[in-house]
Amino acid sequence: MIAKAEFGRTGHKSTRVIFGAAALGSVSQKVADETLDVLLEHGVNHIDTAASYGESELRIAPWLKREPGRFFLATKTGKRDEKGAREELHRSLDRLGVDHVDLWQLHSLADPIEWDNALSPGGSLDAAQLAREEGLVRFIGVTGHGAQIAATHRRSLDRFDFDSVLLPYNFITMQNDYYRANFEALEATCRDRRVAVQTIKSIAHRPWMEHEHTRTTWYQPLESPDDIDLAVWWTLGRPGVFLNSVGDVNLLPLVLDAAERFSQAPGDDQMRELMDRSLSIPLFV
C-alpha cells in the first residue's frame, strides 16, 4: 500500500499519491471502474477532480456510492465571480451525487487580473467561504500552473488562509532559479501554517512536439517504468508533499507501483542523467 501523511490541517491522512481525476475526462464508465479497482489495490484514498475535467465528475459518482466514506473528495471551480462559482459548485455536487465535498479549489489561479477578481469582494473566494459556512465544502484550496505560480500562491496565502495549494514540482522545473526560490519559500510557509502542498507534473518529460499526441496528458510524459520510478521517487523524497497522479489511466499503474515501492529519493546526479538521456525540456519558462 502507498504510505499516508497528514493532509495539512484537515485531519485526514491522505495517501501520498492523490488520484488526479483529469485522467477520467474522456473515458467510458467501464474504463473508469477498472481504474477504481487499481486505486483500491494500492489503497489510494484521495480523489482530485474539477468541473472542467470533461466527464470526470460523472465517472466518479458511481465510485462514491460503491465505496462510501473511502475517499477524501476534492473538486475545483474555474469561475472568478461569486455567482458563477456558486453555480458551478452546485453543478459539481449534482454530478458527483454528493451533498458536500471535502476540498473545493480555485482552479488555475495564475493570471493577475483573474487572481484579483477571484480574491476580491464579489469573487469566487466569497462563494467558497459562504459554501463552507453552509457545509457544502469543508476546506478551501488554490491551484495553478506556470513558472510564476509558486510566487502567486505566496501572494494568495497573504490574501487568504487557504487550506491547500497545488502546483508543479519535478526535477527539471526546480532547476529554474526563480521557481525554486519561490517554491522553497512557499513550502516553508505551508509547513509553518499546516497548509497541504499538492504537486503535479511529476513525470512530465517535455511539451508535445509536432507529432500526434499518444497520451491524454497535456504534456509528453516519461514512458519507461524505470524513468517513472526515478521521477516519482524524487518527488516523494520531499517530506510532506503529495503527488497528484498522471492524467492518463494507462500510465497510472506505473506511477502507483513506483510510489508503493518508494524508499528514498534518487540523487541529483541520477536525475541529471535522466534529464539528459531523455532530452527533457521544461514545460514552463
Residue 163 lies in a domain: yes
Label residue 281 exposed, middle or buried (CB < 10 Å: 0-12, 13-18, 19+). middle
Please give the tally of structural domains in the chain: 1
List all residues 6 or more positions away from 90 whose beta carbon is below 8 Å from its beta carbon: none
285 found inside a domain:
no
58 in a structural domain: yes
Give me the CATH number covering residue 23: 3.20.20.100
Please give the residue range of the domain that contains residue 190: 4-277
Sorted by sequence, the CB contacts under 8 Å of residue 61 that are 6+ apart come out as: 95, 96, 97
| Residue 244 resides in a domain | yes
- Is position 174 within any domain? yes
Residues 38-74: b if buried by 16+ CB within 10 A, e if exposed: ebeebebbbbbbbbbbbebbbbbbebbeeeeebbbbb
In a domain, residue 246? The reply is yes
Read off the C-alpha cell for 159.
Answer: 490574501
Residue 115 is placed in which grid cell?
487572481
Q: Which cell is 99 given? A: 451533498
DSSP string, 159-200: HS--SEEEEE--TTGGGSHHHHHHHHHHHHHHHHHT-EEEEE
**pLDDT tens track of the chain, all 285 residues?**
999 999 999 999 999 999 999 999 999 999 999 999 999 999 999 999 999 999 999 999 999 999 999 999 999 999 999 999 999 999 999 999 999 999 999 999 999 999 999 999 999 999 999 999 999 999 999 999 999 999 999 999 999 999 999 999 999 999 999 999 999 999 999 999 999 999 999 998 878 776 667 787 777 889 999 999 999 999 999 999 999 999 999 999 999 999 999 999 999 999 999 999 988 888 887
